């Protein structure tokens, strides 16, 4: 998945102007790669052509949770309409695996603001997942 994210990043016009900018772009690219894989996997479950491919552990985790990941992506799209910063924090932590300090640095926030935004984003997604 990291290779696919790299391919998405290298095709972007221009270059990241700072570490913050790069981490933000990388988080979004990882989200897109994971969600694209989940969509493909979900389509295969519904009768798409299935080819045998050896998967590494990360892909197996995405495969097992494809439907949930698609629901998370749907919730993030909804959340982005009113709270785009919460989505960026969620992408950094969930899809890229950044810790609180790295997330705060990547987004130009204080560590405490990143933590509060993470809690708000998780609460929103939790409600969205419960409703489904």
Rounded (10°) angle between helices 57-64 and 66-80? 70
Q: How many residues does the chain have?
A: 132
The pLDDT score that the predictor gives to residue 109 is 95
Domains of the chain, by residue range, sit at 2-131
Tell me the pLDDT of the chain (132 aa) as tens digits: 556 665 666 666 666 667 777 777 777 777 877 888 788 877 665 555 544 444 444 444 556 677 888 888 899 999 999 999 999 999 999 888 899 999 999 899 999 999 999 999 999 999 988 887
Query: In whole angstroms, what is the distance from residue 107 CA to residue 70 CA?
Result: 24
Closest CA to 91 of 61, 121, 111: 121
What pTM did the predictor assign?
A: 0.61
The pLDDT score that the predictor gives to residue 53 is 43
Query: In whole angstroms, what is the distance from residue 102 CA to residue 132 CA?
Result: 32
The pLDDT score that the predictor gives to residue 15 is 67
Closest CA to 73 of 113, 22, 36: 36
């Amino acid at each position: 998945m990291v290779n696919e994210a790299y391919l998405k990043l290298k095709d972007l016009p221009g270059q990241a102007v700072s570490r913050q900018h790069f981490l933000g772009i990388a988080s979004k690219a990882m989200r897109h790669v994971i969600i694209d894989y989940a969509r493909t996997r979900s389509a295969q479950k519904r009768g798409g052509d299935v080819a045998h491919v050896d998967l590494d552990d990360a892909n197996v985790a995405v495969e097992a949770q494809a439907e949930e990941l698609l629901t998370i992506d749907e919730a993030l799209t909804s959340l982005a309409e009113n709270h785009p910063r919460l989505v960026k924090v969620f992408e950094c932590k969930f899809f890229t695996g950044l810790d609180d300090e790295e997330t705060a640095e990547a987004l130009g926030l204080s560590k405490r603001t990143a933590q509060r935004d993470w809690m708000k984003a998780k609460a929103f997604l939790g409600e969205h997942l419960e409703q489904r």
